[in-house]
Amino acid sequence: MKRQPAYRSPPSTLRRLAAHHVFFDFDKRRRTPLPPLASIGCASRGCLRRARGPRCARADVAAEAARALGLRSLHELRGDERRVFADFSPLVLLAGASRWQPDERRSLLR
């Protein structure tokens, strides 16, 4: 790039790079830090199937995630916290939070 400042990667290379997450890590033994997006989508569809209907899906998924983390009720959270929690609740379920250690669950809630 120093020799050819105007160089740009060809579109075919950019398409190959855009097909997957790109990570750089010196430790090859570590796994990719993010789950594949397809897994998140499948988990979300599973959550929606268990819901009482499309209008209740968000609340049902958030309530299930709250139970997995040991909350008695979503009302233990403030308004903004509740909205953010509902946004991330499919990921909480995908990560298997119900199988986490109690201190891990408390840490997420903090």
Is 47 contained in some domain?
Answer: yes
Is 13 contained in some domain?
Answer: no
- Tell me the one-letter amino acid at 48: L
d(CA 73, CA 63): 7
pLDDT in tens, 34-76: 655 556 665 666 666 666 665 567 788 888 899 999 998 888 8
Domain span including residue 63:
37-109
Is 19 contained in some domain?
Answer: no
Is 82 contained in some domain?
Answer: yes
Query: For the whole model, what pTM was predicted?
Result: 0.55
Task: Select from 42, 44, 37, 90 the least CA-distant residue to 68.
Answer: 90
Is 24 contained in some domain?
Answer: no
Is 75 contained in some domain?
Answer: yes
Is 52 contained in some domain?
Answer: yes
- For residues 61 and 90, the answer to whether their CB atoms sit within 8 Å is yes
Count structural domains, the chain.
1
